[in-house]
Amino acid sequence: MSIINIIIPFIILISVVVFVHEYGHYYYAKKYGVKVTDFSIGFGKELFGWTDKDGTRWKVCLIPLGGYVKFFGDTNPASQPDKLSKFSDKDQSYLLATKKLYQRAIIVSAGPIANFVLALVIFSCVYMFFGKDFSVPVIQDVKVDSPAYKAGLKKGDQILVINDKKITSITEVSQSIALSETNLIKISVLRDKKEFDFQVQSIVQDAKDNLGNNISRKMIGIQIIPLNNEINRQKLGPAKAIYYSLKEIWFTISSTMSYVGKMIIGTEKADQLGGPIKIAQITGQVAELGIIPFLSIMAYISISLGLINLFPIPLLDGGHLLFYFYEFVRGKPLSEKMQTYFFKFGLFVLFALMFFSTYNDLKGLGLF
């Protein structure tokens, strides 16, 4: 795969996801009378841009790894002006810091929410116009001496339930096994028109995903095919499309939070964390498969961006919301000096995460 085939899809995906995120901030800032001086896609030197009638500079910058909205009077990441006395009464009304607490909270949270809405729109459109997979999963093969083989699963078993979750498609089989809270996996199957229950002790193995990337995941040693080799892809109405889209968004959020929680307590490896290089690589690979896989990966990245930004880390939206919560409880904001300390700590955490994820990316490419 050429570098161009990786970079161009990556830039398109990141630009759309970041634009939607920042536009969420921008829209509610304008709604509540906060003046926006800059709307940037990317960081660093401006490549091109324009200034609208309200004085907002819309620009595209050299480094396409994010973006930002800058509010009038901002002098630091906390959107705090130096001194209110520097501004006239009219100008003070344009500052984020002078807005009501709930308005500031809405402006800050609108970015992540916009990312979830983008994912909802993408999934819903895919399900309505191209369909959702409801293929019935059947075991094609059981590897000899594998956990499934030892538990008694057989070729031809139709998988009904995994860990008390009803299975409605082939993709849910691998998802349910990989994201099981424990290594002991409960599986119910249909065999000769009778239901049988099994308990399978999964193992963790290094493997490759559908795109050839190295991953570690739980496995039980089975291969799955659709019942009678028939792919059952159904186009959904708007209500069902939204319902299944919300389920997919919630599944992505809950599985991500489960992984982060396990990583923090040390029961899950941190080498699955990926950064810009891995995202670019996967985006390029998916783009070659067609527009639907590309839109799907865009939806998943959008969910991830929205979720990460809600983490209570200073510099992220979640950090701002944490400070607003403190202000709500105490009745006064955290001192600017303390906010500065927290933002320095947040900057250190973000750089550490970026360094670690980039190391994992390079390690995955065999450079370490």
Catalytic residues: 22
> What is the rounded distance in angstroms from the CA atom of residue 70 to the CA atom of residue 38?
5
Quick one: 340 exposed, middle or buried, by C-beta within 10 A (0-12, 13-18, 19+)? middle
In this structure, the number of other CB atoms found within 10 A of the CB of residue 241 comes to: 21
**CB within 8 Å of 150: residues ≥ 6 apart:** 201
